[in-house]
Amino acid sequence: MLDLSREGDVFVLRMTAGENRFNPTSLGALNAALDEVAAADGPAALVTTGEGKFYSNGLDLDWLLGPGADEFPAFVDAVHRFLGRLLAFPVPTVAALNGHTFAAGAMMALAQDVRIQRADRGFFCLPEVDIRIPFTEAMAALIQAKLPQPVVHEAMAFGRRYGGEEAVQRGVVNAACAEDEVLPAAVAAAAELAGKDRATLLAIKRTMYAPALALLEAR
């Protein structure tokens, strides 16, 4: 489901469960990986990526609206906490968007410091308006903290899909490149940032994103 490896100062977290949807098992594994990265000594940075067609398609709705229905509020709170943790993670983070990046998967990408998307295929999208699941206040705060206007409105209210080149033009991601260059570019970007002082970076992130973090961590 997850594979965490290290290339020099860069940890590479690969999500390998197809659409990489969030449920208690996958969220627990993601948090355990963050624990390992946070505990590492010395310079470090984190790259997250998926495989094949998907980075992540967000919440596991089959579980959440079926067997996990009774856990819906508690699980959404757990997702909030995970997003908040990633938003204020004490080492630099880079999302290597190898494929479709939808809903909470897109929020996971937004919570990171840098985003590099595949240029030729795959979309970045917040489709909640089309699947009839309104954003929570905490999720909206995260999105509004990371996307420029008027992209926030069209992304949230209309569920617009952004391919790699348009995503760069609209300020959704930092760069777009060919499929086989996405991960190497992300690792290179992360390596350049790995020497940042953790305590200082953490303090800056917590100040920059204080309103969003207050909502994400309150749950």
SS (H, E, C) 105-168: HHHHHHCCCEEEEECCCCCEECCHHHHCCCCCHHHHHHHHHHCCCCHHHHHHHHCCEECHHHHH
pLDDT digits 0-9 by tens, 16-75: 999 999 999 999 999 999 999 999 999 999 999 999 999 999 999 999 989 999 999 999
Q: Are the C-beta atoms of residues 129 and 158 closer than 8 Å to each other?
A: yes
CB atoms within 10 A of CB 105: 28
Strand partners, 161: 125
Task: Flag whether pLDDT at 219 surpasses 70.
Answer: no
CB 14 within 8 A of CB 56: no
Instruction: Please report the domains of the chain, with CATH numbers, ordered by start residue.
Output: 2-216 (3.90.226.10)
| 3-state SS, residue 170 | coil
Task: Please tell me the predicted confidence (pLDDT) of residue 210.
Answer: 98
Say what the pTM is: 0.97
- SS3 state of residue 77: helix
What digits encode the pLDDT tens for the residues 131-174? 999 999 999 999 999 999 989 999 999 999 999 999 999 999 99
Over the chain, what is the mean pLDDT?
A: 97
Average pLDDT of the residues in 179-193:
98
